[in-house]
Amino acid sequence: MRTTCDKIVLLITEDWFALSHFRPLISLLVELAREVVVVTRSSGRLAEIEALGARTLEFDFRRGSNNQALAVQLAWRLARLLKRERPDVVHLIAMKPIVLGGLALRLVGVPHVVVHVTGQGLAGIATDPLLRLYRFAMLRVLGSLLRKPASLLLVENPDDLAMVKGVVPKLGARFAILGGAGVDPVLFPALPAPHNDVPVAAHVGRMIRSKGIDLLMQAYDRVRREKVSLRLELFGSSDRDNPEAIPPQEIESWCQASGAHWHGPVADVAGVWKHADIFVLASRGGEGLPRALLEAASSERPLIVSDVPGNRHFVREGIEGLLVPPGDVSALAQALCRLANDRALRLALGAAARRRLLEGFTEEHVKASLRASYLGLLQDERPARTVE
């Protein structure tokens, strides 16, 4: 494909996040621009991003900090970086880069801006006054970016689109609802159901409080008291840079008391679904569209998720899985018991989950929507693209 612009600068907090969720996006941007620059913090994996055809610049977004004075300093540094790079498009992924990048763009002009919301994160569910103030500031910055005609909004669920339209009612058709980050159904093939003597429910994701790990452990205690045969396995890091991180010793203590097992970070997620029967995510909210959910669906596993934005965009009650009210430990325990006791239902829900993924949530679906959205932005044509 012919390039459509000279340079795109992509701002994202961590190199591992770029690689875990946005390889298809980076590959597409390399097709569309003569040069793509990924600005991110390094955990030692920048070479993997460069192997996709992008140049990298190290920048620490201080993901775990909400210090306002520090934010001003970081925005100033970003403004200087953007002034040096002189991009045609700045692509901001997730809330911290959106806020810092939005502040920086008040100091330096860029022809086009892409605002890529991957969920509201902790700011979307917090009741703490300081975080509520951060959310207010976040929405102000987001609104200032999207009021510009040469801007594009990317979201992963209709709830986040509605949130943004509440701030920018004249957004018009300058948006796309993506199928999350997308999943390659070849890398996550439909798997035969495990023949476990005791069914296994697995949580795959970061060990942070917003993911509802504590709620899941309480629900599992109730399942055990009901004498229902079910094993619970947890996969993921405690994400020490996140203010919501659960200390490893606390996770281990829970597991010792309940009989659950925490495996820590996992590289082979597809391997998890070779032996696990049920995907479970008790998130309190703040989701975009969890990639782990899509990976489990692609593997033909039934889904138990809280009824929050993102989760409910994919999971329809009784079709691909079971929806439970967020924070409702009793309902979560009942859902776990129901699927633990009903193999036929697990199989039916898992097959439906795979079909839904193939209908609009694969990497190819996401890349097609991104390509159309970018071409529309750069050609000043902005058709709305959505995944139902």
Span 117-152, pLDDT tens digits: 998 776 556 566 666 666 777 888 999 999 999 999
* Whether 13 and 112 share a structural domain: yes
- Confirm whether 270 is domain-assigned: yes
Buried b (16+ CB within 10 A) or exposed e, 146-162: beeeebbbbbbbbbbbe
* Whether 110 and 231 share a structural domain: no
pLDDT score, position 1: 47
- Confirm whether 69 is domain-assigned: yes
pLDDT in tens, 332-388: 999 999 999 999 999 999 999 999 999 999 999 999 999 999 999 998 644 444 444
* Whether 236 and 102 share a structural domain: no
Q: Could you give the CA distance from residue 52 to residue 54 in angstroms, rounded to a whole number?
A: 6
- Confirm whether 155 is domain-assigned: yes
- Confirm whether 385 is domain-assigned: no
Residue 211 has pLDDT above 50, yes or no: yes
And the tokens for 286?
A: 């703040």
Tell me the CATH number at 19.
Answer: 3.40.50.2000
Whole domain around residue 115: which residue ranges?
Answer: 5-182+362-378
Instruction: Tell me what the mean pLDDT of segment 253-261 comes to.
Output: 94
* Whether 371 and 354 share a structural domain: no
* Whether 106 and 26 share a structural domain: yes
- Confirm whether 386 is domain-assigned: no
CB 311 within 8 Å of CB 304: no
CA dihedral 148, 152, 157, 160 (to 10 degrees): -20
* Whether 18 and 143 share a structural domain: yes
* Whether 34 and 169 share a structural domain: yes
* Whether 276 and 146 share a structural domain: no
* Whether 98 and 204 share a structural domain: no
Helix, strand, coil distribution of the chain in percent, nearest 5 = 45, 20, 35
pLDDT score, position 385: 44
- Confirm whether 234 is domain-assigned: yes
- Confirm whether 190 is domain-assigned: no
- Confirm whether 188 is domain-assigned: no
* Whether 144 and 30 share a structural domain: yes
And the tokens for 330?
A: 């009793």
Instruction: Tell me what the mean pLDDT of segment 181-196 comes to.
Output: 96
Kindly tell me the burial class for residue 45, based on how many C-beta atoms sit within 10 Å of its own C-beta (0-12, 13-18, 19 or more). Answer: middle
CB 194 within 8 Å of CB 276: yes
Q: H or E stretch including 295?
A: helix 291-298
Q: Could you give the CA distance from residue 3 to residue 97 in angstroms, rounded to a whole number?
A: 25
pLDDT score, position 194: 95
36-45, 129-138, 219-228, range with the lowest pLDDT: 129-138
Instruction: Tell me what the mean pLDDT of segment 162-182 comes to.
Output: 93
Cα–Cα–Cα angle for 15, 20, 26, nearest 5°?
Answer: 70
Task: Give me the residues paired with residue 186 across strands.
Answer: none
